[in-house]
Amino acid sequence: MTLDELTQWGPWAWIVVGLFLAAAETLMPGAFLIWLGMAAIATGLVDMFYPLSWTWDFVIFPAFIFLFGFFGKKIYGSKPRLTDQPFLNRRADALVGREFVLDQPILNGAGRIRVDDTVWRVSGSDTPAGTKVRVTGATGGAVLKVERT
């Protein structure tokens, strides 16, 4: 298809391309082709009611891409993902507030506790083994901050 044939379609070329891009989004979901498709359809609709040259079409098309992409990000990007397992991949955060017995003493600010079948590194003030401690936070995801209870 040449540019001359495409210009004969006028605004319908934009609408057809937009529908093609929107349909392609269903085959390759990634939430970006839909915004391109909507921008192409909007360009075709503007061109249908206010006939523009192809030069102006190529100016307003990127503007519509930006507009739809910006509002799409605002609408879909700001929703928090709710899950039935909020601490999945954040296991250290799930331990905050719980109490455990030191498995190894805290010497020079470092020690260990046993949580079920896992041994965690802890940091805090020097404390002998067997002392009950409460987890107050986590650093780096793998080291728990503890204090005596």
pLDDT of residue 123: 92
Confidence of residue 75 (pLDDT cuts 50, 70, 90): confident
Q: For residue 54, is pLDDT > 70?
A: yes
Q: What is the CATH number of domain 91-148?
A: 2.40.50.140
Q: Where are the domains of the chain?
A: 3-77, 91-148
Instruction: Give the Cα separation of 14 and 29 in Å (integer).
Output: 21
pLDDT of residue 79: 64
Closest CA to 124 of 140, 142, 144: 144
Q: For residue 5, is pLDDT > 70?
A: no
Confidence of residue 133 (pLDDT cuts 50, 70, 90): very high
Closest CA to 43 of 2, 77, 70, 10: 10
Confidence of residue 107 (pLDDT cuts 50, 70, 90): very high
Q: For residue 7, is pLDDT > 80?
A: no
Q: Contact 120/133 with Cβ under 8 angstroms?
A: no
Confidence of residue 46 (pLDDT cuts 50, 70, 90): very high
Instruction: Give the Cα separation of 10 and 55 in Å (integer).
Output: 13
Bridge partners of 121, per DSSP, are 112, 143
